[in-house]
Amino acid sequence: MQLLDVGPGAEPPGSHRLQHLLSHAKFDHGRAREEIARLVMRELAGQDAALVADETGDAKSSTDCVGAGRQYSGALKGVGLCQVAVHLAAVTETARVVIDRALYLPKDWAADEKRRDAAGVPEEIMLATQPQQAAAMVAGALQLGIDARWFADDEVYSGRELRTQIRAFGLRYAVGVSHTHVVTDGAGRRWQIRQIINKVLPH
Condensed to tens digits (0 to 9), the pLDDT of residues 54-94 reads 998 889 988 888 888 898 887 778 899 999 999 999 998 88
> Would you say the pTM of this structure is higher than 0.85?
no
Q: For residues 153 and 52, give the distance between their C-alpha atoms in angstroms, rounded to a whole number.
A: 6
HSE-up (13 A, CA, CB side) for residue 177: 16
In angstroms, rounded to a whole number, what is the distance separating the alpha carbons of residues 124 and 165? 22
pLDDT category of residue 104 using cuts at 50, 70 and 90: very high
- Whole-angstrom distance, CA of residue 129 vs CA of residue 194: 27
Q: CA–CA separation, 152 vs 42, rounded Å?
A: 22
pLDDT tens by residue, 14-36: 667 778 777 777 777 778 888 88
CA distance 3 to 8: 16
- The angle subtended at Cα 98 by Cα 15 and Cα 44, nearest 5°, is 110
Query: CA neighbours within 13 Å on the CB side: how many for 203?
Result: 2
Which residues does 18 contact at the CB level (< 8 Å), separation at least 6?
4, 12
